[in-house]
Amino acid sequence: MRRRGIWIGLSLAALTAVLLFVLAKGFGRDPHEVPFQLRGKPAPDFTLKRLDTGAPVKLSDLKGKPLVLNFWASWCGPCKVEHPVVTMAARRFGHEVQFYGVVFEDSEENARAFAGPPDPTFPQLLDERSRMAVDYGVTGVPETYFIDAQGIIRDKVAFPIDPRTMMEKLAALRQPAGPVSEVVR
């Protein structure tokens, strides 16, 4: 009877230790963070309409130069905070890197009101029915994608970007990429 008690006790203790370890490891990580698997993969193609001119813009047109895609929406508070950061980065680095904004789940009028007068260094694109956002694995706004000159997605920032992070990611864009893998279309 005693021996059985010890066995039960030991196995329960082991299970408890595993449980407590696993729960403790959970601290500090964000349970709402969604994994991003497109790092190092070619950016999916898209054709979107420009907000100011209505002209179509294809991803293939933009190859050859690094590209920063910034997803935002007029109803998104943090996007308002982030917008000047991206605009200034576009003005400063627009000759080396292309900056494009993509309107996420929003109406044309609201997007126009938010974006203000058209900015040649930071054109805005309309994502009809979020098809491009789905293709890019967007999980919310604001999100900023960093794509290199060969069209490989290098990184994604899924929070309102600050100047420091922007500089880091832009610098990384200039480095050569690793081996490329296929993405499911």
Partner 1 sequence: MKALVLGLVLAAYAPQQAGSTPLDPQREARVQALGKQLRCPMCQGLSIADSNASAARAQMDKVRELVAAGRTDEQIRGYFTSRYGEWALLEPEASGMNLLVWFLPLLLLMGGGYAIARTVRRRPASALPAPAPEPEAEKAREPGQAPPDDPWLEAVRAELRR
Partner 2 sequence: MISTLGTALVLGGLLAAAFGAVVGIEGGLRHRPGALRIVLAAVTAFLVCMVGANLTMIYALVTHDFSVHYVSLVGSRATPLVYTVVSLWSALEGSILFWGAILAVYVFGFARAHRHDPPTNPLLALGTMLAVGVFFSFLIAGPANPFGRVSPVPPDGPGPNPLLQNHVLMVVHPPMLYLGYVGMVVPFGIAVAALVRGQLGDAWMASLRRWTLIPWTFLSVGIVLGAWWAYAVLGWGGYWAWDPVENASFLPWLTATAFLHSAMVQERRHTLKLWTVSLSLASFLLTILGTFMTRSGVFNSVHSFTQSEIGPTFLVFLGAVLVVSILLIAVRGPLLVPEGSLGGVASRETSILLNNLLFAALTFTVLLGTVFPLVREAFSGVRISVGGPYFNRMAVPLGIAILFLMGVGPSLPWGRASAETVKRQFLVPAGVGAAVVLVCLAAGLRGGLALLTFGLAGFAGTVTLREMFLPVRVRMREQGEPLPRAVFRSATRARRRFGGYVVHLGVVMVFLAVAASQSYVVHTTATLKPGERFQLGSYTVQLAGLRNGVDPHRRWIAADIQVTDGRGRQHALAPRMNFYERSTDPIGSPAIRSAAFEDLYLTLLAFDQATPSASFNAWIFPMVGWIWWSLPLFVFGALFAAWPERRRVRAGAPERLPAPNEARSPGAVA
Question: Where does this chain bind partner 2 (CB under 8 A)?
Answer: 1-2, 4-6, 8-10, 12-13, 16, 18-27, 29, 31-32, 35, 75-77
The single residue among 134, 150, 163, 174 that binds partner 1, judged by CB under 8 A, is 134
**Cβ 128 to partner 2, closest distance in Å?**
15
Q: How many CA atoms lie within 13 A of 99 on its CB side?
A: 22
Which lies closer to partner 1 via its Cβ, residue 72 or residue 99? 72
Which lies closer to partner 1 via its Cβ, residue 99 or residue 143? 143
Cα–Cα distance list, 31 to 26, 34, 45, 79, 113 (Å): 8, 8, 31, 22, 34
**Cβ 141 to partner 2, closest distance in Å?**
10
**Cβ 126 to partner 2, closest distance in Å?**
17
CB atoms within 10 A of CB 152: 20
Distance between CA 18 and CA 24 in Å, rounded? 10
Burial 58-80 (b: 16+ CB within 10 A, else e): ebeebeeebbbbbbbbbebeebe
Identity of residue 18: V
Identity of residue 125: L
- What does the block give as tokens for 59? 């991803």
47 lies in the site for partner 1, by CB under 8 A: no
Helix 77-93 vs helix 163-174: angle between axes, to the nearest 10 degrees?
Answer: 50
**Cβ 185 to partner 1, closest distance in Å?**
8
Which lies closer to partner 2 via its Cβ, residue 67 or residue 76? 76
Instruction: State the binding partner of 116 from partner 1, partner 2, none, CB within 5 to 8 A by kind.
Output: none
The length of the chain, given as a count of residues: 185
**Cβ 43 to partner 1, closest distance in Å?**
12
11 lies in the site for partner 1, by CB under 8 A: no
Which lies closer to partner 2 via its Cβ, residue 22 or residue 184? 22
Q: Which residues bind partner 1 (CB under 8 A)?
A: 32, 34-38, 41, 73-75, 104-107, 110, 113, 129-131, 133-137, 139-140, 183-185
